[in-house]
Amino acid sequence: MNEFKHAKELYDNTTIPPQLSDRVLTGIRNGKAQYQSRRNRRIRRWTAIAACFCVMLAGLNLSPVLAKAAANVPVLGGLFRVLTFANYDKTEDSIDYSISVPEVEAESMLAEKVNTAIQEKVDRHLAKAQRDWDEYREAFFATGGTEDEWGSREMDVIIHYEIMSQTEERVSFIMYFAEGWVTSQEERYYYNLDFARNRELVLGDFLGEDWVSVCNASIQRQIDESKSTDGSTLFFAPDEGGFTTVDESTDFYVREDGKVVVCFPKYSIAAGAAGNVEFVIETLED
């Protein structure tokens, strides 16, 4: 008991440094500021998406189901998560919307950068789709189309994503943006993210310093093997705009087995019948 009393007296008589209060208050303020910053970024993102739906779709009541649901690929580590930020299907004004937008959740500037880029692409795609539809409708009636004929017209607006591979430290996924009406249009964007090193991955990370030669040799071999017995092929000749070489802007994704797949848009190096062209890159070790 005497020891307890003595300890209490020491505690009561201990002088509190005058700067301690300021340090505590500063720490509290900094903590609140960091929390508010993260919260504001999330609110701004939700607000921007909601505003885009309202403005770009001319006030239509889409009533989308916006919910964060775990992606179809399990979360394997604590560095990041890929969640479904917006997910809904809706038909308005003869436009069928099928929307699934991802969000990368991680304590890093890389995640914020990627989420901002995705949001900008979603905004731009929705705006373009509405503009294309309005211009098509105006031209349709200007050239003698009737209301009955217009009633059979429809348009698909598609935004989706697919996770190609995921480990504890990195993820590879593709964003698809498509319009389907009189003609079909599609854009693809490829994301290969390393959250251990907080940066976007490049082909050299997987194929080494000689990645250009490795890719070119593998791609050319597959193009040559695609030729029929009479020498015909869907691929353009190099002097006709066909494949010549990969570079830093060449798209790719990583499969679950670690294989790198190099991708080229439709019509870029081959006839339209070939679609979006993909090459699994084989190395000398394979």
pLDDT in tens, 214-233: 999 999 999 999 999 888 89
Q: Give residue 269's identity as a one-letter amino acid code.
A: I
Give one word for 93, left, alpha or beta, with left for phi > 0 and alpha for psi -120 to 50.
Answer: left
Instruction: Provide CB contacts within 8 A for 35, sequence distance 6+.
Output: none
Distance CA 190, CA 11 (A): 61
Q: Return the higher-pLDDT residue of 266 and 64.
A: 266
Confidence of residue 78 (pLDDT cuts 50, 70, 90): low
Q: What is the per-residue pLDDT across 123-158, written as a single tens digit (0 to 9) for each?
A: 999 999 999 999 999 999 999 989 988 888 899 999
Q: Render pLDDT for 40-64 as a digit per residue (tens, 0 to 9).
A: 555 455 444 444 444 333 332 333 3
- Give the C-alpha distances (Å, rounded to integers) separating 171 from 134, 191, 196, 201, 202: 38, 8, 11, 10, 13
Q: What is the pLDDT of residues 228-253, one digit of tens each?
A: 988 889 999 999 999 999 999 999 99
Do residues 208 and 281 lie in contact, with contact meaning Cβ atoms separated by under 8 Å?
no
> 73 or 217, which is more confident?
217
pLDDT in the model for residue 181: 72
